[in-house]
């Protein structure tokens, strides 16, 4: 049980470090799932999306933030990233 508690604590520290790094870089950093839904984004990217809290992007897609034509292009890029054999 003690080992599990240490692992949980270590994981929490790693999570905090990742969040601090992401939120303090000026670059857009985000992760999407296989359906092109945002699962994590940083503050800089959230601002570019027009939202104040990065968690507001979770579960949404580019179609929720951009004009349809731009979102289609981003979606196409995502598909190629997830399926490199289709290029």
Give 18-28 pLDDT, tens digit per residue. Answer: 999 998 999 99
Q: What is the pTM of this model?
A: 0.81
- Say how many CA atoms lie within 13 Å of 77 toward its Cβ: 9
pLDDT tens digits along 46-63: 999 999 999 999 999 999
């Amino acid at each position: 049980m003690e080992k599990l508690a240490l692992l949980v604590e270590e994981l929490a520290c790693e999570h905090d470090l990742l969040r601090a790094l992401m939120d303090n870089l000026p670059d857009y950093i985000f992760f999407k799932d296989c359906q092109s839904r945002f699962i994590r984004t940083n503050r800089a990217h959230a601002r570019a999306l027009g939202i104040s809290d990065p968690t507001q992007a979770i579960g949404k897609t580019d179609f929720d933030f951009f004009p349809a034509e731009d979102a289609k292009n981003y979606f196409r890029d995502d598909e190629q990233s997830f399926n490199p054999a289709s290029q």
